[in-house]
Structure formats: structure tokens, C-alpha cells
Amino acid sequence: VGSMLSAGGFTDPDAQSNQANRVLIDEFGRGFVNLNLLVTAAEPVTSPTVRAVIDQLAAELRATEHVARVLSPTESADPVGSGLVSKDG
């Protein structure tokens, strides 16, 4: 049985998202891309100054063409638990 199992979740090869991903791979050599933006500061993310910078970056990214989703730690109820902020802030 183990030889018939594979890691990961189920994906429908006929789903439009998978078809689009195949086109990206065929045409550009890579599929969907997830980018992470790291913001470092001397103050914690709870600082008004740092929050303002993060909020501005998130707003600019959301206004960028072809950006589908932006996750911001300033908009999360639990930024540390969500993995968006380090434990030391």
C-alpha cells in the first residue's frame, strides 16, 4: 500500500487553477509563486511606527496588478500564532 501513496493533498488536474499552473510551468518554467516580505525593525511589530510601515507596504502590494492576496500581521488577531511575527516580536 505504501508504494501507492503520495505526500500532499488532493488536487484536481482538471481544475482551472491547475490548468493555469501547468501553462505557467510550460511557458515560464515555474508555476504559482508565493513571495514573503520580511520587515525588520528595532521596535516590535506592536509599535505604531512599525505598524504604519507594514500597513503602507500591505496597501501598496494590494494595489499592485497581479497580486492576488496579501496577509499582514497588523490585521491578524494572533500574528505570532499565525506565523506572521516571530516570538520576540
pTM: 0.62
Find the largest Cα–Cα distance for the chain: 55
**pLDDT given at position 52:** 95
DSSP the chain: -GGG--SS----TTSHHHHHHHHHHHHHS------------SS-TTSHHHHHHHHHHHHHHHTSTT------GGG-SSTTTTTSS-TT-
Q: With beta carbons less than 8 A apart as the criterion, state whether 27 and 33 touch.
A: no
**pLDDT given at position 57:** 93
| Residuewise pLDDT in 10s, the chain (89 residues) | 556 556 666 778 888 888 988 998 999 888 887 888 888 899 988 899 999 999 999 999 999 998 888 988 888 877 776 778 887 77
